[in-house]
Every structure is written in structure tokens, then in C-alpha cells.
């Protein structure tokens, strides 16, 4: 049986890319190289999707976002739950550095690189956003780190998906929509039932994390933290082909629910005040 990307319904959505994508990637790579968070061997097959995610926003903010992702990829690839190299960063020191409260150093080269890069990118984001957004984004990053740095076992595919929702790093990706567009979703808007923002965020995060499992399987086939392997490990699929098919079907189901929820939510925009309407529509 042969599978390809067109089996995923997300492949049929319209594609956009930032008009300054080349410039943004060039500037971001120069900074990430200087920080030391790009490993040439590890990143040989690495592709950033950032220029496809935020397509109508300032170049300087885009550069900050790309470097942020490079730093988080560096953390996941060297210190993640199933990729740890033996060098161990301190979670609380990372949190201090992110908040700008203290400076920390390490004699371990990779950990020191991580500490320096965390301090660098968090200071940029903090200076270039509102306090309310930075606090929100900090909570997303802390939540991601608390899962990414600790191995968590699962017994069912549903267990795995719940873990992947948090380790996938998609919530920080979604939050950065607010950063690049200089908007901020208030708690009142987020909790407005008719807008279904909480449900849309979860569906979107799962689509990103689980489809990434499929595209990254060649690199991650050794890992228990991949949707295809989760089906095999839990014996909810009897062989590889069945596991892939079930994985694709699951992502497509989430995408279908997302589209239906989005359609209903958009119908509620007319009842919002103009400023809130623009923020939610964005």
C-alpha cells in the first residue's frame, strides 16, 4: 500500500506564503547560526513552515518568530523526552531566563547554548509585545516545556494524542498569530461559547502535531512518541499499513470537525463589537 500527502485533506486547502519569505529566512538563519541553535547535520532535512503560517505581517516580527522556533526545535531535538543527549537543562533556570528574572550559565556546551538563546529570544518578544500577550505566551511555552522535557507513558492512542497535544508545541504557534498581528484575544472572547475558540485551538493544534507525526515518521520511527507507532505499540493497529491508514483517517476527522466548527463560529462574528470582530476574524 502506498500513501502520500494528498491522502490528508489538509493538502487540499489553499496555500499561502509570505511575500518576503526568502528575506525572512535569510535574516533568521543568520541569527540562529550566531546563537548556535542550528545543527547542520540534524537540520539537513529540516524545513520551517513559519512563512506559510503567518503570511501578512511585518518582516521584523517574522524574523523573531523564526528564531523562536529554531530555539524551541533545538530544545526538542537535543533535550526532548526521547532525544535527550545526556546533557540536562534545568527547567526552572529556563523559566528564569525566559522571564528575564535571572541569568544562568552551564559548563555543558549544549545547555549553555540553550540558556543563551532562550534569554535572547524572550527579551526580543517581551520588548516587542504587550505585557498581556507575553504573559499568555509564557504560559504556553512553560506548559510545552513541562511536557517536552519529561517522558510520559501512554496505554491507548487517545492517551498518546492527549500527550501529543501538549508536547507538539502547537499552542505557542497559534498564540504567535496574536504577536505578529499586534492583536490580543481577551479571556472573554476566548471563553465565548459561540465563537468556539477553545475548540478551534485544540483541533488546529492536533492537526499540526499529528500530521507532523506522519511527515516526520522517517526521522522518528524509533520513537514511541509518534502517532503511527502509538497505534502499533498499543496494538490498536495490527501492522504498519493499518497504523498509517488509521493515523491519516484520524487527522482527516479532526480537520473535518475543525472546518464545521469554524463555519459555525464565523456566523457569530456579526454579533461582536467592531474591534472584537476584527481581532477574532484575524
pTM over 0.75: yes
pLDDT, tens digit, for every residue of 146-156? Answer: 777 777 899 99
pLDDT recorded at residue 279: 95
Residue with the larger pLDDT of the pair 141 and 237: 237
pLDDT at 72: 83
Select the more confidently predicted residue: 150 or 231.
Answer: 231
Question: What is the rounded distance in angstroms from the CA atom of residue 50 to the CA atom of residue 91?
Answer: 26
What is the mean predicted confidence (pLDDT) over 161-186? 93
- The C-alpha cell at 70 is 529554531
- pLDDT class of 76 with cuts at 50, 70, 90: confident
Which residue bears the cell 507513558?
Answer: 153
pLDDT digits (tens, 9 = 90+) for 111-125: 999 999 999 999 999
The SS3 assignment for 232 reads: helix
- φ, ψ (nearest 5 deg) of residue 151: -70, 130
Amino acid at each position: 500500500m502506498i500513501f502520500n500527502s494528498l491522502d490528508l485533506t489538509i493538502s487540499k486547502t489553499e496555500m499561502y506564503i509570505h511575500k518576503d519569505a526568502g528575506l525572512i529566512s535569510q535574516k533568521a538563519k543568520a541569527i540562529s547560526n550566531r546563537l548556535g541553535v542550528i545543527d547542520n547535520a540534524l537540520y539537513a532535512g529540516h524545513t520551517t513552515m513559519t512563512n506559510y503560517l503567518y503570511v501578512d505581517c511585518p518582516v521584523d516580527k517574522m524574523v523573531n518568530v523564526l528564531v523562536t522556533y529554531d530555539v524551541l526545535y533545538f530544545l526538542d531535538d537535543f533535550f526532548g523526552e526521547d532525544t535527550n543527549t545526556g546533557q540536562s537543562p534545568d527547567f526552572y533556570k529556563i523559566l528564569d531566563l525566559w522571564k528575564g528574572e535571572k541569568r544562568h550559565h552551564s559548563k555543558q556546551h549544549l545547555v549553555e547554548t540553550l540558556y543563551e538563546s532562550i534569554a535572547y529570544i524572550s527579551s526580543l518578544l517581551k520588548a516587542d509585545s504587550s505585557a498581556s500577550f507575553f504573559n499568555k505566551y509564557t504560559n504556553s511555552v512553560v506548559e510545552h516545556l513541562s511536557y517536552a522535557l519529561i517522558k510520559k507513558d501512554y496505554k491507548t492512542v487517545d492517551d498518546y494524542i492527549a500527550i501529543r497535544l501538549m508536547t507538539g508545541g502547537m499552542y505557542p504557534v497559534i498564540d504567535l498569530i496574536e504577536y505578529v498581528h499586534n492583536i490580543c484575544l481577551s479571556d472573554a472572547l476566548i471563553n465565548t461559547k459561540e465563537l468556539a475558540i477553545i475548540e478551534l485551538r485544540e483541533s488546529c493544534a492536533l492537526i499540526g502535531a499529528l500530521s507532523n507525526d506522519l511527515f516526520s515518521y522517517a526521522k522518528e520511527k524509533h520513537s514511541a512518541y509518534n502517532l503511527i507507532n502509538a497505534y502499533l505499540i498499543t496494538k490498536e493497529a495490527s501492522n504498519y499499513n493499518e497504523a498509517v491508514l488509521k493515523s491519516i483517517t484520524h487527522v482527516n476527522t479532526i480537520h473535518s470537525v475543525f472546518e464545521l466548527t469554524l463555519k459555525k463560529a464565523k456566523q457569530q462574528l456579526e454579533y461582536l463589537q467592531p474591534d472584537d470582530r476584527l481581532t477574532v476574524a484575524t
